[in-house]
Amino acid sequence: MRRFTVAALTAATTLGTVLTAVPAEAHRGPAPLGMKNCAANVCHFDVPAGTYDVTVRLGGDGAASTAITGETRRTLLAETATEAGERVSRSFTVDVRTPEGEPTGPDGTPGLDLVIGGSAPALADIRVTPAKRARQIFLVGDSTVCDQPGDPYSGWGQQLPQYLRKGVSVANYADSGESTVSYLADSRLWATVQPQIRRGDLVLIQLAHNDKQTDGATYRANLETLVAGVREKGGKPVLVTPIVRRWFNADGTLNNGTALLVNGLGVDHPAVTREVAAAAGVPVIDLTAKTKTLVESLGTEGSKALYLYNEKRDNTHTSVHGATVYADLVRDELVARGLVPEGRTREG
């Protein structure tokens, strides 16, 4: 694969301009990557695996509203409105790797791919450069967290990047169907994640939905193994209790084992996760409690939009809307604990 180094291309003024990136060897200095790598609503940057800062300038002659997704449907920039004639700059940091989505899924397209979307997209300029001091947030989880490859599904980890400021990147290694047992056993999963962890990186761990037949002692030991493995590399583990299943009692509450992730052996996954966090002295994001409160407050009808009930009669997996709401809950907890800077809201 021919690669191009990264700095700043002379910007074209519209996405309709189709030009060819110039090889690095044709320049005395680094070859820039920018608008010349964009056509229509897609930008492709032929870069090797790594972490990249992306700065965009949004807006046009008319009112516009622009969002950016990348790689496997990750929301990197929430829809951003601009008035007629207004230009605004936004920046984010993105993880580029192979496979680009779920670790056990297809490789995807080499390099960095961005899609310019929104209700009225207007991209005036874009610049991609290697991130020099990026901090990673690694995600270890299952299908409720992962970068889901197709609509209407979305994991909350897929929506988290839009809330983070430049310099913080999400490396989502969550994978559909994984339990604490299988995540530790598969060389494409934990054995791939752990060597990449650097001092100061965060590792968020949410595994429970597929531990249906994992006994309590094994589940506890597996969480302890993951926590110890993060610490061994100098990272900061954060345990996350699982999102609830949308499974109501007749009285409109979720106080049952199906909703609250108590498995067939009677193992209360959220409770064990809290206990391991307390014993190990690591932060815990009680996403079970937070999603329970939210789902109950919305009721049986209002909560359908968070999940894929209307589309698939699915009360476990979230829609893009639900994943976005749940990612916001995670971001709020990370900020409250001082684990990440306040970052962006969806409005900016």
What pLDDT does 4 receive?
Answer: 29
Nearest to 219 by CA among 168, 253, 183, 249: 183
Phi (first) and psi of residue 69, to 5 degrees: -115, 165
Write out pLDDT tens, residues 228-287: 999 999 999 999 999 999 999 999 999 999 999 999 999 999 999 999 999 999 999 999
CA–CA distance, 316 with 242 (Å, rounded to integer): 11
What pLDDT does 30 receive?
Answer: 57
What pLDDT does 17 receive?
Answer: 31
What pLDDT does 342 receive?
Answer: 82
What pLDDT does 344 receive?
Answer: 62
What pLDDT does 98 receive?
Answer: 97
DSSP helix/strand/coil, 189: coil
For the whole model, what pTM was predicted? 0.89
Between CA 173 and CA 178, with CA 176 as vertex, the angle to 5 degrees is 85
CA–CA distance, 97 with 101 (Å, rounded to integer): 8
Below-50 pLDDT ranges, the chain: 1-29, 347-348
The 10 Å Cβ neighbour count of residue 109 is: 12
